[in-house]
């Protein structure tokens, strides 16, 4: 309210002053300023006690040690990637790099075929994320806002598929893909993942969080189903949609089992399969595997930085009253 400009409309005299007054009520500064009973030192922040600083030190110590626990494996990964493998082992596997070789990343990317695998994974991931977003949004909209027979039964069946691990459907899916001639193809890599119960469930939850009065208001305003979805429902569910995009991207990028079964040529290796191949084909060059793992994780790092706020808001949505 402090930044509000006064309303100059003569139609409603006193409108803003009343609101400002009610907004100011309860702020002690107004009264004390008028009363002039305030000593200047009272306005300074109160002196922090030793106990306060002790508490602060404690929490910093705790957070730092937790960060060390989380960051240590990553440090070791980088350390072992850049160290020459033999020199590192003969040096007794110390906590510092030995005989640093920076070109290992280039070797992994170019010579070990990681670049091509990452390109393919990127295409596959983009197709899967886009398709999942479209199908999940449409299905979630139907389950959240439309009435149709057996709605709850269908929803139960869809959510039920979450209980099936990939191993259950793997053989049947591979057989289907083989029969329709889609082994070793982008279609084969993406087809089983174009829709997902996780997405439908998450986005439906987001849609259900939209107050019914907003739904009524947009009905009166004249929004049709599609415009309501794009102009109101999706923007209002942005945090949840954002976290779903991340979940979907992570899942698609990190896929190993399906690409392993749906392809049998090196040309069609996705990034996780390629990582495995690099390891088994170069057992003497362990640093190559580590370097490849780092390169393969970079897109995820970028994604997490980009969507950080959305993820936190999405995961805590509904936990705190808005």
40 contact partners, CB below 8 Å, separation of at least 6: none
Query: Considering the rule CB under 8 A, would residue 44 count as an interface residue with other proteins?
Result: no
**With respect to other proteins, which residue has the nearer C-beta, 9 or 49?**
9
Tell me how far apart the alpha carbons of residues 286 and 241 are, in angstroms, rounded to a whole number. Answer: 39
**With respect to other proteins, which residue has the nearer C-beta, 5 or 179?**
5
Query: Considering the rule CB under 8 A, would residue 214 count as an interface residue with other proteins?
Result: yes
Q: Is the dihedral of CA 12, 13, 18, 21 positive or negative?
A: positive
Q: How far is the CB of 296 from other proteins (least distance, A)?
A: 36
Tell me how far apart the alpha carbons of residues 193 and 59 are, in angstroms, rounded to a whole number. Answer: 43
Of 94, 119, 156, 235, the one binding other proteins (CB under 8 A) is: 235
Question: Applying CB under 8 A, which part among 39-47, 68-76, 211-219, 287-295 lies near other proteins?
Answer: 211-219
Tell me how far apart the alpha carbons of residues 221 and 217 are, in angstroms, rounded to a whole number. Answer: 6
Query: Considering the rule CB under 8 A, would residue 26 count as an interface residue with other proteins?
Result: no
The count of residues in the chain is: 322
Of 103, 147, 213, 284, the one binding other proteins (CB under 8 A) is: 213
Query: Considering the rule CB under 8 A, would residue 15 count as an interface residue with other proteins?
Result: yes
Long-range contacts formed by 144-147: CB under 8 A, 24+ apart? 144/204, 144/207, 144/208, 144/233, 145/207, 145/215, 145/225, 145/228, 145/233
Closest-CA residue to 317 (of 248, 240, 246, 241): 240
Residues in the interface with other proteins (CB under 8 A) total 32
Instruction: Kindly state the helix (H) or strand (E) to which residue 195 belongs, with its residue range.
Output: none
Query: Considering the rule CB under 8 A, would residue 147 count as an interface residue with other proteins?
Result: no
Query: Considering the rule CB under 8 A, would residue 30 count as an interface residue with other proteins?
Result: no
Strand partners, 100: 83
Question: Applying CB under 8 A, which part among 81-89, 166-174, 207-215, 251-259 lies near other proteins?
Answer: 207-215
Query: Considering the rule CB under 8 A, would residue 12 count as an interface residue with other proteins?
Result: yes
3-state secondary structure of 242: helix
Of 26, 45, 46, 211, the one binding other proteins (CB under 8 A) is: 211
Query: Considering the rule CB under 8 A, would residue 224 count as an interface residue with other proteins?
Result: yes
CB atoms within 10 A of CB 163: 8
Query: Considering the rule CB under 8 A, would residue 238 count as an interface residue with other proteins?
Result: yes
In the complex, the residues that contact other proteins under the rule CB under 8 A are 1, 4-5, 7, 9, 11-12, 14-16, 18-19, 22-23, 211, 213-214, 216-224, 227, 231-232, 235-236, 238
């Amino acid at each position: 309210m402090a930044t509000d400009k006064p309303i100059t409309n003569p139609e409603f005299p006193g409108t803003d002053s009343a609101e400002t007054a009610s907004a100011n009520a309860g702020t002690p500064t107004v009264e004390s300023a008028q009363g002039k009973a305030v000593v200047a030192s009272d306005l300074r922040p109160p002196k922090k006690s030793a106990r306060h600083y002790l508490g602060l030190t404690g929490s910093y110590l705790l957070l730092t040690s937790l960060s060390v626990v989380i960051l240590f494996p990553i440090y070791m990964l980088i350390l072992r990637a850049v160290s020459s493998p033999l020199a590192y082992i003969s040096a007794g596997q110390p906590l510092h790099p030995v005989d640093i070789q920076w070109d290992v990343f280039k070797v992994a990317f170019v010579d070990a075929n990681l670049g091509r695998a990452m390109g393919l994974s990127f295409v596959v991931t983009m197709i899967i994320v886009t398709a999942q977003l479209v199908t999940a949004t449409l299905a979630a909209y139907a389950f959240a806002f439309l009435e149709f027979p057996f709605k709850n039964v269908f929803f139960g069946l869809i959510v039920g598929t979450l209980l099936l691990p990939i191993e259950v459907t793997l053989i049947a899916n591979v057989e289907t893909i083989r029969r329709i001639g889609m082994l070793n193809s982008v279609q084969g890599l993406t087809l089983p993942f174009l829709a997902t119960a996780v997405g439908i469930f998450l986005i439906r939850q987001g849609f259900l969080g939209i107050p019914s009065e907003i739904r009524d208001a947009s009905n009166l305003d004249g929004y049709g189903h599609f415009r309501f979805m794009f102009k109101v429902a999706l923007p209002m569910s942005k945090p949840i949609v954002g976290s779903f995009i991340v979940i979907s991207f992570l899942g698609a990028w990190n896929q190993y089992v399906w690409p392993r079964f749906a392809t049998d040529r090196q040309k069609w290796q996705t990034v996780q399969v390629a990582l495995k191949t690099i390891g088994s084909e170069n057992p003497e060059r362990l640093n190559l595997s580590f370097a490849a793992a780092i390169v393969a994780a970079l897109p995820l790092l970028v994604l997490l930085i980009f969507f950080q706020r959305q993820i936190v808001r999405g995961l805590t949505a509904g936990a705190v009253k808005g």
